[in-house]
């Protein structure tokens, strides 16, 4: 998986606390344990989980966007550099976790709808895609898909099976 991300642009998340990658996704999993509860009901828990997942992804997108705005980045920053930054964030004081915490802290006292978060995330992702195309990276064109790797995803499957709604139907709890 990591080899693919060195060759193709994408995002690497790891749900395990003591493994490669940022601790941002494991922090998100802890939020699911501490900030969701049966009394809130599936609708509110699902909205919280969706917003926090969008905050996680937005934080990652913003770091990539910043890296792509460095002058002459095409010469010094590649998909391999980006993959290494994501796999070994401790070398950079886990910038992903720090930004995730900062954005979370700013948003936890505000009510922001999922649709607004989705819109912001979509706009920032489009901006990153446009930057990648504009820089003329040989391994990225307008039709190229960004890869998404979620390592140790099975850890997340045990989180709140009775607390969230299924994304397939509005009435069913998550299987």
Domain ranges of the chain: 2-145
**Predicted local confidence at residue 166, as pLDDT:** 58
Write out pLDDT tens, residues 104-145: 888 877 878 888 889 999 999 999 999 999 999 989 999 999
| Among 20, 18, 29, residue whose Cα is nearest residue 2 | 20
Whether residue 43 contacts residue 164, with contact meaning beta carbons closer than 8 Å, is answered with no
pLDDT of residue 154: 85
Note the pLDDT tens digit of each residue in 60-104. Answer: 999 999 999 999 999 999 999 999 999 998 888 899 999 999 998
User: Residue 170 to residues 42, 60, 162, 173: CA-CA distances in angstroms?
Assistant: 10, 29, 14, 8
pLDDT tens, 31-41? 877 876 667 77
Q: What is the pLDDT of residue 107?
A: 84
Query: pTM of the predicted model, to two decimals?
Result: 0.86
Contacts 24+ apart (CB under 8 A), 98-106: 99/59, 99/62, 99/63, 100/22, 100/24, 100/27, 100/28, 100/55, 100/56, 100/59, 101/27, 103/55, 103/58, 103/59, 104/31, 104/52, 104/55
d(CA 148, CA 9): 9
Name the pLDDT band for 174 (thresholds 50, 70, 90): very low
Neighbours of 157 (CB within 10 A): 9
């Amino acid at each position: 998986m990591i080899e693919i991300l060195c060759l193709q642009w994408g995002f690497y998340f790891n749900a395990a606390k003591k493994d490669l990658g940022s601790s941002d996704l494991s922090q998100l999993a802890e939020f699911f344990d501490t900030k969701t509860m049966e009394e809130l009901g599936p609708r509110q828990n699902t909205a919280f989980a969706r917003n926090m997942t969008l905050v996680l992804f937005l934080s990652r997108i913003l770091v990539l966007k910043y890296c792509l705005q460095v002058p002459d980045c095409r010469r010094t920053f590649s998909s391999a550099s980006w993959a290494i930054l994501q796999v070994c964030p401790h070398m950079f004081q886990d910038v992903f976790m720090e930004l995730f915490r900062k954005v979370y802290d700013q948003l936890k006292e505000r009510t922001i709808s999922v649709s607004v978060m989705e819109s912001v995330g979509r706009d920032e992702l489009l901006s990153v895609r446009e930057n990648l195309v504009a820089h003329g990276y040989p391994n990225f064109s307008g039709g190229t898909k960004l890869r998404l790797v979620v390592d140790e995803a099975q850890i997340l499957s045990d989180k709140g099976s009775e607390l969230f709604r299924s994304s397939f139907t509005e009435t069913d709890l998550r299987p």
